[in-house]
Amino acid sequence: MLKDSSFRSLWTAQTVSLFGTQASVVIIPLLALGTLDASAFEMGLLGSAESLAVLLLGLWVGMTADRYPRRSVMVTANILRLLLIGMIPVAYALDVLSIPLLFVTVFLVGALTLLYDSALSSHVVLTFDRRQLPKINSYMEGSTAVSEVAGPGLGGLLVQALGAPLALVADVCSYIASTVLLLGSGDSTRKGAKEEAKNTGEEDAEAGHEDAEQETVKGALSGFTWAFSHRVLRPVIVSAAHFNFFTAMFFAVYTYYVVKELGFSPLLVGLASAAGGLGGVLSATAASTFMSKVRTRLLYVLSLVVPTVGAFLVPGSELLGSSVLQFLSVAAGMFLWSFAIVVNLVMSETIKQMVTPSHMIGQVTSAMRFTTLGFEPIGALVGGTVSQFLSPTTALVIAACGLATSITWVVFNRHLGMYDVNEAEPVSAT
């Protein structure tokens, strides 16, 4: 894939953008705390802004991504994100920066990030051969894994060196670089894409866009309806929502547990996270190979089972007498979790792209994000409540047990059992 200049530019654009975004994940909260003296409640609101954007605007965003040329949508999303992020240091310089302004900015950037991601998923299908999707998605998820490890650290260093407001200039620069790379990547459509669009109804959809604008709600829900009516995609979405609920429950307690119960220093917390990042990076290099060698349903089930093992290793570390062994147990848990989850994400993305008509990928992407993210705030609330009234260990064990049950949606599903993710053509929904 790296020999393809169009893919190289697209992948580099995505990687640069991800690093800036992950840096801002640390920079903006530090700005709120250090500069604006935000309260715990205000920090909670700020932390919920991006998820709220997906829940409130997600379905409409997906419809928008599918209505216009995908690369143009991605470029527009980048430009708007850099303007919004760039507004923060300007507001600071003018002494008008506030928590409500930060909340609105994070909310809008979250919506634009979903718009970008929805268009990217569709753009990949329209530009490259579907048989290349496992490798392409492995590269993309590899960039995500690396950025999630290195990005926050980069953000912390920038805050230390420049202060939080000026540190956001790095995020602005990442969007500028990403935009330039996208503009240089070309906007070619692979051979056969037009014929595929005809066969899947894309041309009819394009012709009906003007009428669809009068039925915005119906159009926004079409991706949701299509995804949940698909015999292969439905169990993938439901299992992901189930898994994410208990993931949110687990990680709502995780940091408190390793710091307060196990006595981890900030360095050890960071090293455990780095172990997870390493697992994600290694997994990204091997995911496409796994997908070509292992049956689709079996590999998908394993991608849910292995994180469960990793989750049990965290509270199980209490049974180990040595602090060194406790750290190794937690680090191993994070490594296994990230390794398997990257495989899961590559598979989910590839299955979605393979089975979804190209004119609906943006809508289906938003519908999937809407569904899977919708349960996370509830899971986090349950985790915090169980930890408060029972114990952090109990909350982690319950979450790990819940993760284990996520396979029930897929392990006996005969349609997923008959499906081969390496097929080059979309499959019908019925």
More confident residue, 421 or 79: 79
Domain at 225-418: CATH architecture: Up-down Bundle (1.20)
Q: Which two tokens stand for residue 104?
A: 């609105």
* pLDDT mean over 264-268: 75
Separation between Cα atoms, residue 76 and residue 89, nearest integer Å: 21
Banded model confidence at residue 306, pLDDT cuts 50, 70, 90: very high
> pLDDT digit string (tens) for 323-367?
899 999 999 998 999 899 988 888 888 888 777 777 777 778 778
pLDDT score of 66 more than 90:
no
Phi-psi region of 129 (alpha: psi -120 to 50; beta: other; left: phi over 0): beta
pTM over 0.75: no
Q: Which two tokens stand for residue 163?
A: 């202060």
Please report where in the chains the tokens 């949110």 appear, as a residue. Answer: 248
Angle between helices 323-355 and 233-256 (to 10 degrees): 160
Say which range, 36-40, 74-78, 83-87, 121-125, has the weakest mean pLDDT. 36-40
Long-range CB pairs of 199-205, under 8 A, 24+ apart, other chains included: 200/357, 200/358, 200/359, 200/426, 201/357, 201/359, 202/357, 202/358, 202/359, 205/359, 205/360
Q: Judge contact between 375 and 244, C-beta under 8 A.
A: yes
pLDDT in the model for residue 210: 44
More confident residue, 215 or 396: 396
* pLDDT mean over 245-271: 81
pLDDT score of 201 more than 70:
no
Please give the share of the chain, as a percent, with pLDDT higher than 90.
Answer: 19
Ranges of CATH 1.20.1250.20 domains, the chain: 5-191, 225-418
pLDDT in the model for residue 199: 46
pLDDT score of 76 more than 90:
yes
In this structure, what is the dihedral angle of CA atoms 148, 154, 160, 164, given to the nearest 10 degrees? -70
Domain at 5-191: CATH architecture: Up-down Bundle (1.20)
Please give the share of the chain, as a percent, with pLDDT higher than 70.
Answer: 85
